[in-house]
Amino acid sequence: MNKIIAKEWLKAANDDLVLISNIIDNESLTHLVAFHCQQAIEKSLKAILEYNNNNVPKRHDLLVLKDLVFDQIEVENEDMLEALNSFCTESRYPGDLGLLPEGKPTTKDAEVFYDFAKNIYAQANELLIRN
Question: Average per-residue pLDDT in the chain?
Answer: 88
- 10 Å CB burial of residue 126 (0-12, 13-18, 19+) is exposed
Report whether pLDDT(28) > 60: yes
pLDDT band at 1 (very low <50, low <70, confident <90, very high): low
List alpha helices for the chain, DSSP H: 2-23, 30-51, 62-68, 78-85, 87-90, 107-130
- For 2-130, CATH gives 1.20.120.330
Which of 66, 61, 73, 84 lies closest to 119, judged by CA?
A: 73
Task: Answer yes or no: are the C-beta atoms of 31 and 95 closer than 8 Å.
Answer: no
Is the whole-model pTM more than 0.85? yes
Give the start-to-end residue ranges of the domains of the chain: 2-130
Q: What is the DSSP string of 86-100?
A: THHHHTTSTTTSS-B
Side-chain half-sphere exposure of 126, counting CA atoms within 13 A: 9
pLDDT digits (tens, 9 = 90+) for 37-71: 999 999 999 999 999 888 888 888 999 999 999 99
